[in-house]
């Protein structure tokens, strides 16, 4: 267990010293948000209709971007081999890494998105649900993303492959999360969607580390 907590602490410390790690996804998120009014229609009534979906798509893309580097350095500098040699549970390590990723990407997004959604004229009733949906679903994105990142860690230009591989898995999360926010904006029921997201979260947090651990072992035998 100590190796896992040590790794988590180290990664968080590195992230704190490299503001780019968590600022870049946020900047990207902001820019994608800005693209839609510019490319389509800045009319506030129109934006109000698409705001929920656009915020979520932008959050998803920002998450995808930051996943690429999740395991790359550890593969390259040999930390991964140390982990396997240590005999510590790769399952716990995978969980820890996903948590770190969430701290660096999902958490900032969860805090910043409700503020930035103002730019898209998100209906007033939706802000709380936006925060909730991000809080529950961004960890799912990190957990699923960790599987993809582990699979593509040693591959050249793996970032694109990573996106291709993970996209279909992200779709249900996207559907329920953006719909929850949209319905909340209309003053309609949204709890079912959030509940389903919660169920997916528990499924992900228990099962994905197995896949991530198996995928990490692949990178060791090269």
Partner 1 sequence: MWDYLVRLYHKLGSPKWFYEISGKWLPWFVVPAALCLIVGAVWGLAFAPADYQQGDSFRIIYIHVPSALLAQSAYIMMAVCGAVFLIWRMKMAAWVAASIAPIGATMCFLALITGAIWGKPTWGTWWVWDARLTSMLLLLFLFFGVMAIQQAMETEENAAKAGAILSLVGLVNIPIIKYSVEWWNTLHQPATFKMTEKPAMALDMLWPLLIMVIGFYLFFGAMVMIRTRNEILQRERKKNWVKKVVQEQAAK
Do residues 194 and 128 lie in contact, with contact meaning Cβ atoms separated by under 8 Å?
no
Using CB under 8 A, which of 30, 34, 75, 165 touches partner 1?
Answer: 165
Establish if 158 lies at the interface with partner 1 (CB under 8 A). yes
Residue 105's nearest CA partner among 69, 143, 54, 142 is: 142
Q: Contacting partner 1 (CB under 8 A), which of 55, 104, 134, 147?
A: 147
For partner 1, the closer of residues 111 and 164 by Cβ is 164
- Taking the least distance from each CB to partner 1, the nearer of 103 and 174 is 174
User: Does the footprint of partner 1 cover residue 152 (CB under 8 A)?
Assistant: yes
Would you state the structure tokens that stand for residue 69, as one six-digit string? 């580097």
Name the residue nearer to partner 1 (CB basis): 8 or 59.
59
Residue closer to partner 1, measured from CB, 27 or 167: 167
Binding range to partner 1, per CB under 8 A, among 57-65, 77-85, 108-116, 202-210? 202-210
From candidates 8, 80, 104, 151, binder to partner 1 by CB under 8 A:
151
Question: For residues 173 and 137, is the Cβ–Cβ distance under 8 A?
Answer: yes
Q: Structure tokens of 83?
A: 């982990």
Q: Alpha-carbon distance 216 to 31, whole Å?
A: 33
Of 2, 38, 87, 222, the one binding partner 1 (CB under 8 A) is 222
Give the CA radius of gyration of the chain: 18
What tokens does 48 get? 């109000």
- Would you give the end-to-end CA distance of the chain in angstroms? 27
For residue 210, how many C-alpha atoms fall within 13 Å in the half-sphere facing its CB? 4
The answer to whether residue 31 forms part of the interface with partner 1 (CB under 8 A) is no
Token representation of residue 92: 């716990």
**Mask for 55-84, x = binds partner 1 (CB under 8 A):** ------------------------------
Our CB check for partner 1 shows the closer of 29 and 101 to be 101
- The nearest distance, CB 196 to partner 1, in angstroms, is 8
Verify binding: residue 116, partner 1, rule CB under 8 A.
no
Could you tell me which residues come within 8 angstroms of residue 130 by beta carbon, excluding any fewer than 6 positions away? Answer: 52, 55, 113, 114, 117, 122, 181, 184
Are 61 and 28 in contact, with CB atoms under 8 Å apart?
A: yes
CA 36 – CA 129 distance, rounded (Å): 22
- Determine if 189 is a binding residue for partner 1 (CB under 8 A): no
Q: Which of 183, 220, 213 is nearest to 93 (CA)?
A: 213
- List the one residue from 119, 135, 175, 205 that touches partner 1 (CB under 8 A): 175
CA 175 from centre of chain = 15
Return residues touching partner 1 (CB under 8 A). Answer: 144, 147, 151-152, 154-155, 158, 161, 164-169, 171-172, 175-176, 179, 196, 200, 203, 207-208, 211, 214-215, 218, 221-222
């Amino acid at each position: 267990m100590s190796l896992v907590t040590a790794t988590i602490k180290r990664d968080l410390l590195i992230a704190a010293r490299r503001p780019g790690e968590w600022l870049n996804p946020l900047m990207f998120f902001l820019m994608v948000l800005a693209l839609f009014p510019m490319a389509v229609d800045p009319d506030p009534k129109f934006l109000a209709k698409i705001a929920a979906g656009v915020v979520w798509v932008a959050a998803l893309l920002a998450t995808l971007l930051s996943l690429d580097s999740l395991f790359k350095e550890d593969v390259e500098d040999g930390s991964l081999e140390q982990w396997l040699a240590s005999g510590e549970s790769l399952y716990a390590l995978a969980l820890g890494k996903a948590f770190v990723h969430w701290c660096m990407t999902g958490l900032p997004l969860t805090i910043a998105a409700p503020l930035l959604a103002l730019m898209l004229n998100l209906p007033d009733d939706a802000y709380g649900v936006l925060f909730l949906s991000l809080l529950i679903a961004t960890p799912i994105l990190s957990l699923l993303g960790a599987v993809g990142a582990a699979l593509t860690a040693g591959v050249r230009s793996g970032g694109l492959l990573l996106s291709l591989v993970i996209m279909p898995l992200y779709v249900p999360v996207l559907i329920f999360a953006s719909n929850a926010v949209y319905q909340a904006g209309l003053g309609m029921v949204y709890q079912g969607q959030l509940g389903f997201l919660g169920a997916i979260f528990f499924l992900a947090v228990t099962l994905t580390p197995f896949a991530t651990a198996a995928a990490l072992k692949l990178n060791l035998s090269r």
